[in-house]
Amino acid sequence: MRRRTLLLVSAFVLVPLVLLVSLGAVPGLIGGGDVYYVVASEVDLQDGEPPEANVTSTIAAENLSENRFPYTTGALEDGRSAAYEEGRFGFESAFTHTPFDEFSEFETWNRAATDPEADVVYLERNGTYYRLEITPASDVDGS
């Protein structure tokens, strides 16, 4: 009786634990979805505002953490971030950090510095202004 109870209790603890661990690993292994990059380009302000309709401000990028904003900081450093693969079934974003999460946070910080319809944000770092855009790999690679 004690053996069955112990077995039953361990099954109720171990099975969900193994399932949760595997769910964390599965999205990264599935792959095969659309690939996106964050692309940064320098821009000149026009009358103190970014040259984009509905965008009137910029976000200061000096204090962005590389751990919290890896796609944004990668794009600012190299002109293009590391690739983000959406996943074949689109559920990977529920388990991983995405460039869309970063842009959503920028929109929360300062809606006037973003154009959510076009996945665009304007940042300022060390006196230089940047337009960052989430771009499909086909547009970046020219394929």
β-bridge mates for residue 38, sequence order: 134
Condensed to tens digits (0 to 9), the pLDDT of residues 81-137 reads 998 887 666 555 566 788 999 999 999 999 999 987 888 999 999 889 999 999 998
| 32 band by pLDDT with thresholds 50, 70 and 90 | low
Distance CA 38, CA 74 (A): 8
Could you tell me if 84 and 99 are in contact, meaning their C-beta atoms sit under 8 angstroms apart? yes
Average pLDDT for 11-29: 68
Above 70 in pLDDT, residue 28?
no
Which pTM value belongs to this model?
A: 0.73
CA distance 35 to 67: 21
Q: Give pLDDT, residue 87.
A: 67
